[in-house]
Structure 1
Amino acid sequence: MKVTVLQIDAGRTGANQRWSLLESQARAHAMDGSDLLVWPELFLSGYNVGDALHAHAEPSDGVFAERVQALAQELGVAILYGYPERAGGQVYNSALLVDSTGEVLINHRKTVLPDGIEPDRFGTGSDFTLVRLGAAIVAVMICYESEFPEAVRQVSAKGADVVLVVTACAWDQVPNLVVPSRAYENGVFMVYANFCGVENGHAFAGLSCIVDPYGNDLARAGREEEAITAKLDLALVREARARLPYLRDHGKIPRNPKFSKDSPR
């Protein structure tokens, strides 16, 4: 599977230009043989845009989604992007994964909202979904979710080969330290698509990356807008999990540690 991550300068294009940006980038990278294209969290609207989050919200079968489905089918490439989803009287921080036939495989709603702008603006999702995309089993996460060891462990234990993360992250520690750790401790590929630049005073880290099951970078962006591409050899998942059997053995860890009588409290 050949994956391309599109790291976008959040301050360079507004929401009204996001379709033309996605379309032009998709056409360019479909030509190089990419099987999957990934854009950041809330790509459709932008992240730090105030009430525009709700103004640009649309249902999972809205106009933007329909355009993406048609484009994916035309180009024969899968597409994942973040957007504000309007559903049932609420708005969710969501990500839509469309396969190369234009079928929606996952519409993931962010399950854990970090402190800051999100709790007052979004409802919360309730679960993770695994699907087959080509030869791989993939799961989708949004930003903060992937920073919890338990989240990536859960989907990896259920069979995920690849965890796709759309994000709007300001902290270098996450792409530099957390993402490789999640890959290494679960024997899973991590694909991490971030913004760069500054949006209404909010700076993003960039540093989008594609990391193999040993925690090694296959591709990594810098601080500027760019695309990164890597081929995912799924045999590495089986190899890494056999060599480092954390998934096999994690169930042996005691679940209820106890303080001894002499332990300080």
Structure 2
Amino acid sequence: MTHFKAAVCQMLVVEQKAENINKAYNMIKEASKNGSNLVVLPEMFNCPYNNSFFSEFAETYPDGETIRFLSRAARSENIYLVGGSVPEQAETGEGKKIFNTSLVFDPQGKLIARHRKVHLFDIDIEGQISFRESDTLGRGDGITIARTKWCKMGIAICYDMRFPELLRAMVLNGAEVIAIPAAFNTTTGPAHWDTTLKARAIDNQAFVIAASPARNMQAGYHAYGHSMILDPWGEVLARAGTGEEIIYADIDLERVEQIRRQLPLLKHRRTDLYTLEVSPKAITNQ
């Protein structure tokens, strides 16, 4: 089977966790009813994107309210579910930390991948926006690939997609689809969202599924919206506006094979001049 249907739920995130979870479930059910096999939620879908909320909304695996919901939703709707991302609290060798974490569940509700955001969004664009995820969040240290029944799927979160080495490492380890829960803002979005997503699809010859929250002008952080699904040629298969909606696209994996055969750029890499080594220890499914 080389075909499946993907959906992105571009949902409006508010300050009430229960309301966000309920909204996500309703959109997941609608996407499933419309034949979706894979559903992707946005970055921090259960929590306003703001440092002041991350600690308050943080959950532990596997007992967190949102985390249990994601497992149940995947199982009840019989889908693969990329649970956007949530603030995850975990014990580390350096004590408790909160991570920006994407959890991926299979149709049985089993966790098959966990990606903790590798590159933290610490920026200061003079006169426009300043944000430091590192003030509250820890940094992940793995390249994450989920194994679905159709293909391998890389997982990145928002700012991660600006680092082509990370996504290339996923593809070199077999990924044909890359899912990216994200929350670009109204400064970085108009400047870089479309261009970066198209570049990552083209230079990796992979499907890219990018999920943004809907734009909430009442919130402290204004998401750009415009969730997108792109094919390995960089063609936009589906694109949202700024409000709440679900977008869909048919994913034909034969398209990956066709493009990589006809334009074999992955085989034309000059590894005698440059290298991108990936330690097997860095590849994680959970």
The TM-score normalised by the length of structure 2 is: 0.84
The Cα offsets for residues 135-165 of structure 1, whole Å up to 9 and x where unpaired, read as 1210110001111111111111111000000
Instruction: Indicate the residue corresponding to 2:251 in structure 1.
Output: 232
Report the CA distance between 1:252 and its aligned residue: 4.0
Alpha-carbon contact 2:146-2:155 (below 8 Å) kept: no
Instruction: Indicate the residue corresponding to 1:138 in structure 2.
Output: 153
Q: Distance in 2 between matches of 1:111 and 1:99?
A: 23
RMSD: 1.6
Alpha-carbon contact 1:60-1:107 (below 8 Å) kept: no
Candidates 144, 149, 154, aligned match of 1:129? 144
Residue 10 in 1 paired to residue 13 in 2?
A: yes
Report the CA distance between 1:60 and its aligned residue: 2.3
Q: Distance in 2 between matches of 1:173 and 1:99?
A: 35
Instruction: Indicate the residue corresponding to 1:157 in structure 2.
Output: 172
Give the letter aligned to residue 245 of structure 2: E
Candidates 97, 102, 111, aligned match of 1:95? 102
Alpha-carbon contact 1:15-1:46 (below 8 Å) kept: no
Alpha-carbon contact 1:10-1:199 (below 8 Å) kept: no
Q: Does the residue aligned with 1:10 lie in a helix, a strand or coil?
A: coil
Alpha-carbon contact 1:172-1:207 (below 8 Å) kept: no
Alpha-carbon contact 2:8-2:246 (below 8 Å) kept: yes
Q: Distance in 1 between matches of 2:5 and 2:155?
A: 17
Candidates 265, 276, 286, aligned match of 1:246? 265
Question: 1:198-237 counterparts in 2 under 5 A?
Answer: 198=217, 200-237=219-256
Q: Distance in 1 between matches of 2:56 and 2:224?
A: 26
Residue 105 in 1 paired to residue 112 in 2?
A: yes
Question: 1:39-78 counterparts in 2 under 5 A?
Answer: 39-48=41-50, 50-61=51-62, 62-78=64-80
Candidates 35, 38, 54, aligned match of 1:36? 38
Give the letter aligned to residue 134 of structure 2: P
The Cα offsets for residues 200-237 of structure 1, whole Å up to 9 and x where unpaired, read as 33221111100000000010111222110001000011
Alpha-carbon contact 1:210-1:218 (below 8 Å) kept: yes
Report the CA distance between 1:14 and its aligned residue: 3.3
Report the CA distance between 1:173 and its aligned residue: 3.3
Residue 192 in 1 paired to residue 193 in 2?
A: no
Q: Distance in 2 between matches of 1:139 and 1:199?
A: 33
Give the letter aligned to residue 7 of structure 1: Q
What stretches of structure 2 of length at least 5 have no aligned partner? 123-130, 276-286
Alpha-carbon contact 1:147-1:174 (below 8 Å) kept: no
Give the letter aligned to residue 180 of structure 2: V
Q: Distance in 1 between matches of 2:270 and 2:169?
A: 12
Report the CA distance between 1:47 and its aligned residue: 0.8
Alpha-carbon contact 2:144-2:156 (below 8 Å) kept: no
Aligned sequence identity (%): 29
Alpha-carbon contact 1:166-1:192 (below 8 Å) kept: yes
Alpha-carbon contact 1:2-1:34 (below 8 Å) kept: yes
Q: Distance in 2 between matches of 1:138 and 1:251?
A: 25
Give the letter aligned to residue 168 of structure 1: A
> How many pairs does the alignment contain?
254
What stretches of structure 1 of length at least 5 have no aligned partner? 257-265
Larger Rg: 1
The TM-score normalised by the length of structure 1 is: 0.91
The Cα offsets for residues 68-88 of structure 1, whole Å up to 9 and x where unpaired, read as 212211210121121000001
Instruction: Indicate the residue corresponding to 1:25 in structure 2.
Output: 27
Report the CA distance between 1:174 and its aligned residue: 3.2
Alpha-carbon contact 1:137-1:161 (below 8 Å) kept: yes
